[in-house]
Amino acid sequence: MKELEIIIKPEKLENLKRILDSVGAGGVMITSIFGYGRQKGVRQVYTRDENIGVNLLPKLSVRTVVKDETVDDIIKKVLAELNTGSFGDGKIFIKDIENAVKIRTGEMGDEAL
């Protein structure tokens, strides 16, 4: 099992949910976040004010735990559908999950997903 944390622009959420549903992801956890990457949140602004400063940009952190065999498919679909070619498209973090237990039924492993 793998946990995917997918950081995206808020307007891409419906596209991502559709992708995750299409590969059978069992559920998602979504958190509103603010942050910046290599660009430090600075946007190209053509003004006389040279004090642009650092902007914290709104993003969504979408987390899901999926079977190992679905990870590559999810990544391919996210890259194909959510990539705009612009800074700030996001990132995907992939973590190993040792086990999962469904509290209601006691199911473990992939069955708990």
Number of structural domains found in the chain = 1
The answer to whether 4 and 97 are in contact (CB under 8 A) is no
57 — pLDDT class (breaks 50, 70, 90): confident
CATH number of the domain to which 72 belongs: 3.30.70.120
SS3 state at 35:
strand
Angle at 85 between CA 11 and CA 22, to 5 degrees: 55
Structural domain range at position 9: 2-112
How is the beta sheet containing 91-96 ordered, strand by strand?
29-35, 57-66, 2-8, 91-96
User: Is the model's pLDDT at 11 over the cut of 60?
Assistant: yes
SS3 state at 22:
helix
User: Is the model's pLDDT at 93 over the cut of 70?
Assistant: yes
44 — pLDDT class (breaks 50, 70, 90): low
88 — pLDDT class (breaks 50, 70, 90): confident
Output the six-digit token pair for 108.
């473990």
What's the residue count for the chain? 113
